[in-house]
Structure 1
Amino acid sequence: MTDIRPKTLFLYVQNLLGIGHLRRAAAVAQAAVADGFEVHFVSGGMPVPHLDIGGAILHQLPPVRAVDSLFKVLADESGQEIDDAWRAVRRDTLLDLFEEIRPDILFTELFPFGRRQMRFELLPLLDRAKAAPWQPKIVSSMRDILVTKPRPDRNREIVETVDRYYDMVLIHGDEAVISLADTFPMYDELTPPVRYTGYVLNPIDMAGDGTGDGTGEVVVSAGGGAVGGDIMRAVARLRPELPYADRTWRFVTGPHMPDDAAREIESHAGPGVIVERSRPDLAAIISRAFLSISQAGYNTLAEVLTAGTASVVIPYEGGVETEQRVRADLLAQRGRLAVVQENALSHDALTLAMQQAVAGRDTGISGIDLDGAAGTARILSELLEPA
């Protein structure tokens, strides 16, 4: 009897500062496994505890992170800036892994629309894949909104890389909400097909009777926490004078929040205030909350939208980031999100937003595709079907 080799997915993801990319990729991995793929989850960032990749096989590359929100300097796990020797070792590790796995699909999360810092290993990987005798399909994926690139030469580089190497581009969003053409000025020059998967959600465990941590609470969170310290500290200081201060407030700082910021938030924790570093079940906690206050990251907003929790979002706008503000404003027009600008965060602004969010709460949002993990797996399977 001849063994039938399962369809194989080589999923490369590099988180540099937060954990949003990693969590989105993990949800895709779970859905692909459920669709019959053998998934090799190749992670290049700092490990994140309790990351659920389902039945995927984890391959942890020597980890690297950005030292700040400008993403220009990369450091290894000991905090040392990486050099060419380090890059060569990691490149060779990645190439050897690719040759060992011989995947049917090479999937690069965000690149080449982002992660330009990783060209030292990704361009050789793409060259190897194009030359591979088994001819794997090559797919790029990205979130719903591209961080605006002001330099035309960088946009030209993206187009040339996509057209040279890729068979398909996947957008983890809903074209009815925002199109890649809205944030990428050279969209019309992309040659491979562009497909929209829907928003990718991490599965929310809603087992039980609907009670538990978060029930009736005001939950304040900042994703991984790497860039959420200023916002959460401000909310913690304002909390005693804000609406609903008589409810339980739960601050989940995130595993990557700097220690000084986390300690200051803890210093404001009086009666009725809970401060936690990390909760793997944060999505379920938010789904049970009376009100969520958070940044406007992709994963958090997708989870808030599907749960129907009243939500105030304070988009992060530091460094070169623009996507949180764009996403928040677009989704505020479609649902019950209330937006407070980071540079306008005050008692009055937050009070008004909280009251608006609670007044407009409902049981979900209609008209947005929130089935993006399964949609991604379905499109990948279709890509392998005979023409």
Structure 2
Amino acid sequence: MTRPTVMLYVQNLLGIGHLRRAAAVARALVTAGADVAFVSGGMPVPHLPLGGAKMVQLPPIRTEDGNFKVLLDETDTPIDDAFRDARRDRLLALFEELRPAALITELFPFGRRQMRFELLPLLERARQAEWHPQTFSSMRDILVTKPRRDRNQEIVDTLNAYYDAALIHSDPELIRLDRTFPMAAEITVEQHYTGYVVNADDIAVPEADPAATGEVLVSAGGGAVGDRFMPTVARMIPDLPLADRPWRLVTGHHMPSSALARIEAAVPTNAVIERSVPNLPELMAGAALSVSQAGYNTLLELLAARTRAVVVPYEGGVETEQRLRADLLADVGALEVVAEDALTAESLGAAMERARGRSRDAVPSVDLDGARKTAAYVMDRLARR
């Protein structure tokens, strides 16, 4: 049987959460029997496991800051119309070359509005293609709330015009789309809840509880927005619970060099610093305690690893999703939350003590099988086409 080709587009602009979640979906699709072209428009990230999917790197773009207003190329130069036209043409040529049976756009049209210059032409070409590819939007559980009705209407109109379904990587028992998208009822294509996508395929939870001997793990996702959080925690280590344990600080590949220097100057001798690691979920599973930011991938990996955890959600720029997700999981007893603007040695220490008091087995029932279920749904749609 011929393996169908899936073209999966993802654009990370600031952190790496979108890229890692999309990579998990790509791996699951390969396992399910698809050939996957993983089309990345962001800055390259090391240690990205694609499991047989083919990486296609577009000329990379990142955002200048958390407000997502200015887009920069790999030389930190604002992109111009010539750059946009060249990327659009590259993307359209790739579509013609691949002739995919399915096109998946990660987050768009719920986000990444800045990429309309290339995605709307791509979607229009997919709609006109004589082989009639299936088109899916792949989105996380929580959207950054948009107060303007015209912007929300634009999302609805784009979905209804170009897509066959919206794949929502959430457990509907925890949160549904209409919680953060007020016009969900006006979407006419199927809204399919896949469960949460855990980036690590196999997280081996050790039989022995690491509470008594494990290290303290501090992480900041990709690091792009951890430049306040990570140096602050580094300075606090001597005044925190488990201060005499080994500490490991994983800053993230995109941690600014100035912040990395502050971390290096602050940590005690029993702490090690790493820019990035290929096995972060494994480190989580073996840690006595995790202190981290609260991105989608981080929280789901903590749940899968059954790690005692304190999270400090990033709340800068226009971002609201980390705090809402963290609060929802705190409400069901999964972790402890410290607000970013309330981060002190006292508040973090108290949260760490509360987390240490939790049973490792007191993990809420949340659907974490989203990668496999996404692949199964897409492959089923292709088989029934």
TM over 0.5: yes
Q: Distance between the aligned counterparts of 2:362 and 2:376, measured in 1?
A: 25
Ranges in structure 1 where 5+ consecutive residues have no aligned partner = none
User: Post-superposition shift, 1:364?
Assistant: 5.6
Distance 1:207 1:144 in 2: 25
Counterpart in the other structure of 1:267: 265
- Correspondence 1:109-258 to 2 at 5 A: 109-203=106-200, 216-258=214-256
When the two structures are superposed, what TM-score results if normalisation uses the length of structure 1? Answer: 0.96
TM-score (norm 2): 0.97
TM-superposed CA distance for 1:270, in Å, is 2.2
Amino acid at match of 1:314: V
Shift of 1:13: 0.3
Worse-matched range after superposition: 358-367 or 314-323: 358-367
Distance 1:363 1:325, change over 3 A: same
Q: 1:207 Cα shift? A: 6.7
Q: Which position in structure 2 is the counterpart of 1:99?
A: 96
- Structure 1 residue corresponding to 2:38, chosen from 41, 44, 48: 41
1:6: Cα distance to partner? 1.3
Q: 1:205 to 1:5 in 2, by over 3 A?
A: closer
- Residues in 2 aligned to 1:254 and 1:149: alpha-carbon distance in whole angstroms: 29
SS of structure 1 residue aligned to 2:384: coil
Determine the structure 1 residue equivalent to 2:3.
Answer: 6
Change (3 A) 1:247 1:204: farther
- Of all paired residues, the percent bearing the same amino acid is 59
- In structure 2, what is the equivalent of residue 374 of structure 1? 372
**For residues 215 and 243 of structure 2, what CA distance do their matches in structure 1 show?**
10
Deviation at 1:386, TM superposition (A): 2.4
Name the CA distance, whole Å, in 2 between partners of 1:309 and 1:71. Answer: 32
1:38-76 Cα distance to aligned partner (Å, 9 max, x none): 111000000001211011011100000001000110000
Cα separation, 2, equivalents of 1:47 and 1:330: 32
Q: Which residue, 297, 317, 326 being the options, matches 1:299?
A: 297
Q: Which residue of 1 aligns with 2:328?
A: 330
Give the superposition deviation at 1:335.
2.5
Aligned length: 383
**Are the counterparts in 2 of residues 210 and 288 from structure 1 also a CA contact under 8 Å?**
no
In structure 1, C-alpha distance between the alignment counterparts of 2:8 and 2:217, rounded to whole Å? 32
- 8 Å CA contact 2:41–2:61 kept in 1: the answer is yes
Offset at 1:336?
3.1
Give the aligned residue type for 2:75.
Answer: S
Give the root-mean-square deviation of aligned CA atoms: 1.6
- Contact kept, 8 Å, 1:90 with 1:121, in 2: the verdict is yes
Shift of 1:184: 0.3
What amino acid is aligned across from residue 25 of structure 2 in structure 1? V
Paired amino acid for 1:138 = T
Shift of 1:287: 1.1
